[in-house]
Amino acid sequence: MRTNSMAIKRIIAAISFWAVILVATVAYCSPIDRWNSISQKATAHLSWAKDVVAHTEGSPVISPLWVCVKEEHLLFGLDGTSKTVFAVWPVATGRVKGQKQKVGDMRTPEGDFTVQRIDDASFWQPYKDKKTGETIGYGPWFIRIKTPPWTGIGIHGTDDDHLHEIGTDASHGCIRMANHSLLELKALVAPGQRVIILP
């Protein structure tokens, strides 16, 4: 029994290692290169999506908006004033692909939404996944998105045991990030900003 437990811990450690490598790889990829590969998808919501250019380092971000591309498991930060892309982070989205249909279907809703509010989630208790029995944490912040008719959808962090799920279909419908990425996002996000979620 102890041998099995040690083997499982080694497997989890290996998966977590490769998850960190994935996060680092995306962080070093140019945000504009990543954006150019998906800009066509965003044209229905942003008429200027194909005109986006790289953000000049050190320039202020004046009017941030956020674009999540579920298929690519990426969240982009765009400046609507300068029409630039200034950030890209890997994320996990809903376990089930497609548009959200009902409560509990583990799909991330698609559409043009807004940030509703930012909640301090540092004291929130981890939740138990009813399907897997795993306990999963929210990280330090919960950026609640107004996604009518659905409630309870947001961008949040994760615990170390589930870091390896970033970049996959793994959430219950939220957009899940590594905590260090979430802190970068939190520094720029505010209620009322647009959040576009694409298939």
Question: Is 77 in contact with 87 (CB distance < 8 Å)?
Answer: yes
Q: In this structure, how many other beta carbons lie within 10 angstroms of the beta carbon of residue 84?
A: 21
Give pLDDT tens digits along the chain (199 positions): 555 555 554 555 444 444 444 444 444 468 999 999 999 999 999 999 999 999 998 899 999 999 999 999 999 999 999 999 999 999 999 999 999 999 989 999 999 999 999 999 988 888 777 777 777 788 999 999 999 999 999 999 998 888 999 999 999 999 999 999 999 999 999 999 999 999 9
pLDDT digits (tens, 9 = 90+) for 114-134: 999 999 998 888 877 777 777
Q: Distance between CA 194 and CA 112 in Å, rounded?
A: 7
Give the pLDDT of residue 135: 78
